[in-house]
Amino acid sequence: MTLRRRLYLTLEPNEKGGTLERIFEFSLITIIVLNIVAIVLDTEVSLRKEYNHFFDAFEVFSLVFFSLEYVARVYSIVENPKFKHPVKGRLRYMKSPMAIIDLLAVLPFYVKFTSVSLTFLRVFRLMSLFRVFKIARYLHALKIFKRVLRDRKEQLVLSFIFILFVLVIISFVMFYAEHDAQPEKFSSIPATMWWGIATLTTVGYGDIVPITTLGRFLGGVFAIAGVGLLALPAGILSSGFFEMLHQKQSSISTKCPHCGKEIHE
């Protein structure tokens, strides 16, 4: 087995590997989780002052590790038949969502050595959060969620369009119901949409509230309607999960537990 093939089998979670592959997968997930913990704890001023050297050392270690991982993935990806061309295949892989996430996870470190402004550098530091998404390729639950989103995307898009349509309607109605009483808060329909979003989601921040009798009545109706309205996407996703898990269980039950072949009645 060549070094490139060994790298590919080690790095790809979809490929069945041995002990070495499982050790690498466990190590990578552990480093990603520790990065998430470090990003959270780094915002505590007291911890940052006391353990500044530890945070910096772990940051350098993580960036070197993720950089080598990215290079190894690009180098070994030609072992995948989908990316078998040595140049076009690697370029096509580098444009894939997970490869872009891998790149954005290490890009802030290298931007420090360029002559960019501090404001622009702060924006790039936010990209360190992309390390969180690197764990997605190793979680089976997220793969199922991705498949459900892909299968139900038309229904989800239609439901969100319907919610947006209702939001425009209630903002239009509430604007004319409250504008004369509160011209500074319900100043326009776009401004009223903030109240509509807070009401439909039943959050109710309280910064914009109706004071007229008609406005309060409509606000109560819209708040109750929002409970059922926002349940549409949740219902679509839950039914998608149920169908996918049911299909998976059915496919397992129709196979022989010993030889793995399909059982025909």
Q: What is the pLDDT along the chain (265 residues), one digit of tens a residue?
A: 788 888 888 888 665 667 777 888 888 888 888 888 887 888 788 888 888 888 888 888 888 888 898 999 999 999 888 888 889 999 999 998 888 888 887 876 776 666 655 455 455 555 566 666 676 666 666 677 778 888 888 888 888 898 899 899 999 999 999 999 999 989 899 889 999 988 888 787 878 889 999 989 998 898 888 888 878 888 888 888 788 777 765 555 455 555 555 554 4
Place of tokens 């552990």: 30
Same domain, 165 and 131: no
pTM for the predicted model, two decimal places:
0.60
How many separate domains does the chain show?
A: 2
Same domain for 7 and 74?
yes
Shared domain for 114 and 163, answered yes or no, is: no
Range of the domain at 64: 3-138
Asked if 58 and 176 sit in the same domain, the reply is no
- Residue ending a domain, choose from 119, 138, 157: 138
Element (H, E) at 233: helix 231-253
Q: What is the CA radius of gyration of the chain?
A: 26
Mean pLDDT across the chain, nearest whole number?
A: 80
**Whether residue 61 is found in the same domain as residue 168:** no
Choose the final residue of a domain: 118, 138, 158: 138
Give which of 236, 230, 82 is closest to 145, Cα–Cα: 236
**Which of 113, 138, 163 finishes a domain?**
138
Residue 126 sits in a domain whose CATH number is: 1.20.120.350
Model confidence pLDDT, tens digit, residues 232-246: 888 888 888 788 777
* Cα gap 237→156, rounded to integer Å: 8
Residue 261: DSSP 8-state:
P
Residues 106 and 151 in one domain: no
221 and 98, same domain (yes or no) = no
The 10s digit of each residue's pLDDT in 11-69 is 886 656 677 778 888 888 888 888 888 878 887 888 888 888 888 888 888 888 888 98
Asked if 169 and 111 sit in the same domain, the reply is no
Q: Are residues 261 and 207 part of one domain?
A: yes
How many whole angstroms separate alpha carbon 130 and alpha carbon 147?
A: 21
Degrees to nearest 5, angle at CA 59 with 57 and 64: 100
- The full DSSP string for 99-164 is HHHHHHHHHHHHHTTS---HHHHHHHHGGGGHHHHGGGGG-HHHHHHHHHHHHTHHHHHHHHHHHH
For residue 13, the 8-state DSSP code is T
